Amino acid sequence: MKLFKLNNTYSVVCDSKGTRSGFKHIASLLRNGSEINKTKICYLNRTWEGFTYETVLLKAIDLFFVNEKEAKKFKAKIKANMGY
């Protein structure tokens, strides 16, 4: 499990779980500590992400934040913190 802090209000908790045919990454978007959105991505084998949880984390941001400017800001912050 890993916590990604977007700002003082929003954060995302990501986790990985096994499935019958592979595994899945789950991202829970939190506002002030309360879950407001959840998304998942299932994989059959390894992923080719730049960092663990990258795809599900960016998907969670895209699905919830309809304001494109705000979504871009959060994505840039995540990528900067991961060394991209």
Each residue's pLDDT tens digit, 17-51: 999 989 999 999 999 999 999 999 999 887 788 88
pLDDT score at 45: 82
pLDDT score at 18: 93
pLDDT score at 56: 94
CA atoms within 13 A on the CB side of 74: 26
> What's this model's pTM, rounded to 2 decimal places?
0.86
| Total structural domains within the chain | 1
What is the average pLDDT across 57-83?
88
Neighbours of 65 (CB within 10 A): 19
The whole-chain average pLDDT of the chain stands at: 91
The residue range of the domain holding 55 is 2-81
Statement: residue 84 has pLDDT above 70 = no
How far is 45 from 22, CA to CA, in rounded Å? 6
